[in-house]
Structure 1
Amino acid sequence: MEYIVKVKQDIRKNWFNNHIAKIEGEEGLQVIYWGEPGTNMYRTKYVLSGNNVFISGDIGEAVYSLTCAATLDNIKDFNLSYFTKKLSAFCEDRWDFDEKLAKKELKEYWEEYEMSQIEDSKEIYDGIISAIEESRSINEYHSWLMTVYHDTSIDSDIMEYVWDFGRKMPPRLIGYWVGLQMIIEQLEKKDKVN
């Protein structure tokens, strides 16, 4: 969780600190231009149409399909986890892979569930470590894990636990949500002044 907090702070401070929202259209079809005047750094365009949020710009492209109308008023109550679950398309891998985190999660899991007691535990553990070390993406990790699954006596219950080790939300996905929250905050401040 502290990873998410740090990334949010970095995005607010270093990506979007001086951004200003310019909104065209009305609820049902709004285009929001989010950028720092005079620069193209981290410039982002949000299109809110029907139940969809379309995002494009310097931090990539994404589409979110909501279960309600895509309005700033509805989105303001979404937390990052809920909003990200609505992701239906993204320009990159859905998850980043963090080797250090994967090893930490494996070690904690192995100790908590006393996995050293199972048959072939050292071979399985070493196989998972090898899968972690050979991987640069979550998809590569999954491919290597399947090799471990076929080469050892690891069962599907263990696989279910280790499948998501090292999985981290990409900063871009956090940035899409943070940008929307900052736009909403900016509009609310403006409304208080007027």
Structure 2
Amino acid sequence: MTTPERPPVFELHIRPLFRLLDRAHMLSQVTPGIDLWDLDTVWGAREQVLTRLRGQGSQNMPGLPVGGPWPAEWITLFERWLATGSATAPGHHLVLTRPDQGYELKTLGGDRRRLSAIVTAPTEGCRVWFELESVATGQRSYTLYLEPAFPDQPSDPTPLRAAETLLRSEVERVVVRDADGTRELVVP
């Protein structure tokens, strides 16, 4: 049995391809500017971005003086991502979600702790997790994401658990960003 090919996800597979330099150039050297790190902006300018990536316009992106063009497989990945969307809906992307009843920080034993949350996904085939966004002394910052099923599935609310294990000796506080805002939790 073969596993179906995973659809590209903007936040995981497309946005990281655009360097800070690429973003700065497209914001300042194109009118109107295109924010390559913003899902809706990239979707709105997808044909212009693809033309530049392919080197078909008057200017290619990125230019030779700043790293040169993307490899063909990156362009193919961008094209695959484009195929996951429609004229009215951007390509496959993550959704900020919220826990059903808050977050739990539980002692697992010794130094180990587990951050968890239950999220009711709209359908089967969704995934939910804590994406680590930053690490600082004594603190970890996460975003609670839901990846919708692709292709779309019929409505079938499904509870899913997001969980992340951490060490109390390294983390005193956890900051979680979700659909309701940002929460700070003290690690027991």
Q: Place the TM-score, normalised by the shorter chain, in its bin.
A: under 0.3
Bigger Rg, structure 1 or 2:
1
TM-score by length of 2: 0.26
Question: Which has more strand, going by share of residues?
Answer: 2
Higher relative contact order (CA 8 A, sep 6+): 1
